[in-house]
Amino acid sequence: MRPFSYTRAQTVQAAVQALASDPQAVLLAGGTNLIDLMKYEVERPGAIIDINRLPLNFIDDLPDGGIRIGALVTNSSVAHDERVRTRYPLLASAILAGASPQLRNAATTGGNLVQRTRCYYFYDPATPCNKRQPGSGCAAIGGVNRIHAILGASDSCIAVHPSDMCVALAALGATIEVEGPAGRRDIAFSDFHRLPGDRPELDNTLQSGELVVAIRLEPNHFAVHHTYLKLRDRLSYAFALVSVAVAVELSNDRLVDVRVALGGVAHKPWRDRLVEAEFAGVVADEEAFQKLAERLLSGAKGHGGNHFKIPLAAKAIVRALKQATSGRLQDQAAKSVQ
Amino acid sequence: MDIGSRNDAVPLCSTAFVINGQQFTLELHPWVTLLDLLRGALELSGTKKGCDHGQCGACTVLIDGERINACLKLAVSLDGARITTIEGLGSPESLHPMQKAFIEHDAFQCGYCTPGQICSAIGLVSEGRVHSRADIRELMSGNLCRCGAYTNIADAIEDVMGQGRNQIREAAE
């Protein structure tokens, strides 16, 4: 790790000011991704602003029946919060599918949103990577790309976003509150993470000096029919090859509202509202699920090592929709349907 | 105490914590991880460095009672924390119940992952979220064992949980 200076921010405003005034500064929350990247010298901050003492460790009920989760609440605390478990079980389930108990005890809600890709070339400063070193090229295209994107990639970057939590938040349609030098603003979850395009160094739409304060979730009707299905090389403690978050509202066996978000397949949690809308009012059966999977993956493109993800994602989408509509979610401990 | 490589441009940070019941106030370089502090200057080498990247769990310690990977925490960020390592759990004369159970169930071979496994298992018990053998296996998945002692590790934990959670929690404090 390279030397850096260390300060502890006492207020959100002070953290914003410190971050905005020093282009070499980064924020430290749980540190589970940042410290790791610093050891590889992928991240080389000149200054660390420790935000762990900021008053952002809260889970509050909102007057509309929704919930507001502070940026510093750990992944464990979110997943085991009784209100989250009963009203947003999809979120709890997705979090528990990720990382390990130790990492979830340290990792925070805000940190989970802004964590970086686990592309092995991004992690290896000896190789070209447009995300790490803009303009240097992409070693994953034409290289070892088993874990890489099949949707929304570009000629510059085929990395995927590694989060499980974010896939559930995409399906649920969260709102992210951020604070920056110009004050506070809301970002719709679908607008937070980016596709790589020709600027893969930008993972999200946070502006300079902005920090995540909280996420908000509206009340919903998805507490019964939902599932988070995660497929990976081993049953635990591994990133998703493909994951599917499904949230469904059913009426008389028909899909009233169906949401399907995919993880492990793109630079951001992948969701297509136009495709979802095509299936409103459709009878919830396997034929419909297969069509939905086909439509969602119609633009999918493999890069050699990851071709297998296309049929894998199709089957995962169908299985997740079956689980969700039958009200039998994936058990993240037993790795079977409940 | 000066820990880490020399760098006079960056001021040392005064950091206080309680480690295994003993109060420390140290002057630290900010880039020293808790793991390197424990194993280096404090000579508490019971906590192991496996991958040093949060992928194996060998460095698991208890910070304010919660199991955490020590390799991914900057020591300076833990000012005010209470840290328990394998050395703080029991002594050769009076082993922690989890240590005893690991011996009784032959829950290790080379032993390198064992301090992390035991700290993790104690964290797991105090979290109180185990309802089945599958839960034990899943909630211990943050600790890799290359010898493959997993079955016996799960047996040891199951045994301890059968002895009653309160007793374990007290012993961890």
pLDDT value of residue A217: 98
> Which tokens sit at A20?
């905005």
Phi, psi of B143 (to 5 degrees): -125, 110
> Which of the listed residues B65, B88, B111 is the one where a domain comes to its end?
B88
Q: Are residues B84 and B106 in the same domain?
A: no
Å from A297 to nearest chain B CA?
Answer: 31
Q: Report yes or no for ipTM above 0.90.
A: yes
For an interface test with B, the pick among A100, A108, A120, A335 (most B C-beta atoms closer than 10 Å) comes out as A100
Q: Contact at 8 Å (CB) between A230 and A164?
A: yes
Contact B72 A36 (CB under 8 A): yes
Q: Are residues B148 and B126 in the same domain?
A: yes
Å from A113 to nearest chain B CA?
Answer: 18
**How far, in Å, CA of A150 to CA of A302, rounded?**
5
Any idea of the CA torsion for A207, A213, A218, A222, to the nearest 10 degrees?
A: 90
Query: Chain B residue closest to A104 (CA)?
Result: B68
User: Which three-class secondary structure string do you get for A180-200?
Assistant: ECCEEEEEEHHHHECCCCCCC
Residue B145 vs residues A103, B110, B118: alpha-carbon distances, Å: 17, 9, 12
Work out how many domains chain A is built from and give that number.
2
For an interface test with A, the pick among B74, B76, B122 (most A C-beta atoms closer than 10 Å) comes out as B74
> Which of the listed residues B58, B88, B118 is the one where a domain comes to its end?
B88
Evaluate if residue A215 carries a pLDDT over 80.
Answer: yes
Q: What is the mean pLDDT of residues A231-251?
A: 97
Q: pLDDT category, B161, cuts 50, 70, 90? A: very high
Q: Are residues B106 and B168 in the same domain?
A: yes
Å from B61 to nearest chain A CA?
Answer: 9
What is the domain-level CATH number for residue B166?
Answer: 1.10.150.120
What is the domain-level CATH number for residue A231?
Answer: 3.30.390.50
> Which of the listed residues B47, B70, B88 is the one where a domain comes to its end?
B88
Tens digits of per-residue pLDDT, A142-173? Answer: 999 999 999 999 999 999 999 999 999 999 99
DSSP notation for B85-116: -GGGT--SSS--HHHHHHHHTT--SS-SSHHH
> Which tokens sit at A330?
């994936």
Q: Is residue B56 assigned to a domain?
A: yes
More confident of the two residues B172 and A150:
A150
Give the residue among A161, A61, A69, A66 at the shortest CA–CA distance from A108: A69
Work out how many domains chain B is built from and give that number.
2
Q: State the average pLDDT for chain A.
A: 97
Q: Are residues B157 and B102 in the same domain?
A: yes
> Which tokens sit at A238?
């591994």
Range of the domain at B113: 97-172
Q: Are residues B19 and B55 in the same domain?
A: yes
Give the residue among B28, B31, B33 at the shortest CA–CA distance from B3: B28
Q: pLDDT category, A335, cuts 50, 70, 90? A: confident
Q: Which of B76, B120, B135 sits opposite A6 (nearest CB)?
A: B76
Give the residue among A103, A231, A118 at the shortest CA–CA distance from B54: A103
Range of the domain at A312: 225-337
